[in-house]
């Protein structure tokens, strides 16, 4: 499924700019950690396409294999699971130091797509996978608001 189809089918976007929250999670050295998670939405304008960007730092001693991401409206009650996240879009991850990658998920948003989206609070869910196979699921890695 393409990013655009996934984005549209979940209604991910906003007409107002917005803010995000970071989340740090770690329980043992065996699983990855996700820190500095943030989401930013820029609405499309007459002159340009809008965008949704999620960025996070992901760490694991074995290195990072990848990060799966999906954004969804709180009003939808979707609440994706770790298993469902395995079938979502990939963020692009670049290694920044031993065991740490900066991962970014970016998506363009047209006026037509933005017009069909729910207003209110939105969440970004993330599933990090380490090279050793360990995973970390963060159901609410970032939050942002959609307004008209």
Domains of the chain, CATH where assigned: 3-146 (2.60.40)
CA distance 131 to 148: 41
Please, is 45 exposed, middle or buried when counting C-beta atoms within 10 Å of its C-beta (0-12, 13-18, 19+)?
exposed
Cα distance between residue 65 and residue 119, in whole Å: 34
**φ, ψ for residue 123, nearest 5 deg:** -120, 155
Per-residue confidence (pLDDT) for residue 147, from 0 to 100: 67
pTM of the model: 0.79
Beta bridge partners, 40, equal 53
Instruction: Name residues of the chain where pLDDT drops below 70.
Output: 1-29, 147-148
Percent of the chain surpassing pLDDT 90: 66
What was the pLDDT predicted at 63?
A: 95
Helix (H, G, I), strand (E, B) or coil at 19: coil
CA angle (119, 11, 92) in 5-degree steps? 115
């Amino acid at each position: 499924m393409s990013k655009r189809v996934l984005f549209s089918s979940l209604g991910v976007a906003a007409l107002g700019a917005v803010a995000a929250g970071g989340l740090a999670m770690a329980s043992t050295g065996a699983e990855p950690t996700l820190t500095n998670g943030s989401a930013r939405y820029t609405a499309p304008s007459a002159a340009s396409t809008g965008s949704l960007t999620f960025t996070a730092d992901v760490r694991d001693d074995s290195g990072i294999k990848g990060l799966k991401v999906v954004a969804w409206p709180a009003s939808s009650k979707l609440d994706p699971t770790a298993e469902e996240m395995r079938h979502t879009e990939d963020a692009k991850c670049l290694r920044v130091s031993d065991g740490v990658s900066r991962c970014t998920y970016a998506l363009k948003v047209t006026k037509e797509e933005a017009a069909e989206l729910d207003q209110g609070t939105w969440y970004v869910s993330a599933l990090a996978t380490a090279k050793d196979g360990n995973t970390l699921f963060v159901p609410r890695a970032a939050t942002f608001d959609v307004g008209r």
